[in-house]
Copies of this chain bind each other. A is one copy, B any other.
Amino acid sequence: MIKVIFFGLGEIGRQIARLVLKKKELEIVGALDLAPDLVGKKLGDVLGLNAPDLNITDDVDGLLSQVRADIVLHATVSNLTVALPQITKCIKAKLNVISTCEELSYPYYRHPELSSELANLADSNGVSVLGTGINPGYLMDTLPITLTGACQDVQRIKVTRMMNSSKRRVPFQKKIGEGLTPELFRKMIEDKKITGHVGLVESIAMIASAVGWKLDEIRELLPEPIIAERELATPYITIQPGQVAGLKSEAHGVKGGVRVIELEFNANAAVQDEYDAIDIDGEPPIRQKIIGGVHGDLGTSSVIVNMIPRVLKSSSGLVTMKDLPPVSAYL
């Protein structure tokens, strides 16, 4: 039995927990969350499922020192600087960590010093630390990296995620600005209240590292609003024509003045044709498409849980998806 502690039981943490409950070889031994409305509640009540009789606690030090476990599934924030103290405590308790923290998926570019400290700490405690999820971690990095494996030469990699946001959770729909006026959207972008998709920079840096490209720079564009042309009803809101239907996040990896990596994340309520596409200009060229796209939350919880065996088998240190054998379901 693999003993698992949850750290973070927000929407994604709960999806992860529900999947863990289905796996016979995984045993839940602890549940951490810092949110006052969760602390003290029974895990099963929060999940709405039969679960081990555990209360969610915010006593991180207490739990980590008292409970023996193999791995922490960490799902709190996107920002590595904020997540770091949490992850550090897990490492010092000699626990492997898989985290949804977007900036941890390939931290070497944005946080080179933190990465090297984290790598040393993990290594000296004999555990592995991985940041992953559906994106970053899979659709816009691991998968295009794997597809270049069939190529003798590659000139350019373009990845497009086209998602109908009206099928997603309400907090996600809010986060991308659905129903705002374009003016308010731009103001919220300026004030960093809307950040767009976090992870494009990490995905580009991971791809470049895998294929051996030294980039001049990684350019992340400000998110652009997608404006509704007709009324769009979503479970969250009815969007009027002229209001924001969602957003497009875009980033480019530039080498020799040329965009060699282009990532586009487009989530809006007007999308009819959902897909995840990877286009590689190379020898041979590869034109890949996942028709209908991959459901984000289901994908993230899957990748997190499916990587458990890989992380436990990995040599210690800070690892990324390109360093470990391919993720697969285990059934």
- Of residues 252 through 293 on chain A, the ones whose CB sits less than 8 Å from some CB of chain B are 282-292
B210 contacts A328, C-beta separation under 8 Å: yes
Task: Give the shortest distance, in Å, between A146 (CB) and chain B (any CB).
Answer: 4
Let me know if A303 and B211 touch, CB within 8 A: no
B-contact bits for A126-159, CB 8 A (1 contact / 0 none): 0000000010001100110110111111100000
Binds B, one of A6-14, A101-109, A180-188, A319-327: A319-327
For A15, give the chain B residue with the smallest CB separation. Answer: B152
Q: How far is the CA of A151 from the CA of B301 in the complex (A)?
A: 9
Q: Tell me the A299-320 residues at the B interface (CB within 8 Å).
A: 299, 301-303, 305-307
Q: How far is the CA of A145 from the CA of B328 in the complex (A)?
A: 5
Q: Which of A146, A327, A331 has the most CB of B within 10 A?
A: A331
User: Is there an interface contact between B134 and A329, defined as CB atoms closer than 8 Å?
Assistant: no
Are B284 and A298 touching (Cβ within 8 A)? yes
Query: At the interface, yes or no: A212 with Cβ under 8 Å from chain B?
Result: yes
A291 vs B330: C-alpha distance when bound (angstroms): 28
* B323–A325 touching, CB < 8 Å: yes
In the complex, residue of chain B having the shortest beta-carbon distance to the beta carbon of A278: B290
Complex Cα–Cα for A299 and B291 (A): 23
Contacts A146-B143, A298-B283 hold; do A151 and B329 have CB atoms under 8 A apart?
yes
A residues apposed to B, CB below 8 Å: 19, 22, 134, 138-139, 142-143, 145-146, 148-154, 210-213, 282-292, 294-295, 298-299, 301-303, 305-307, 321-331
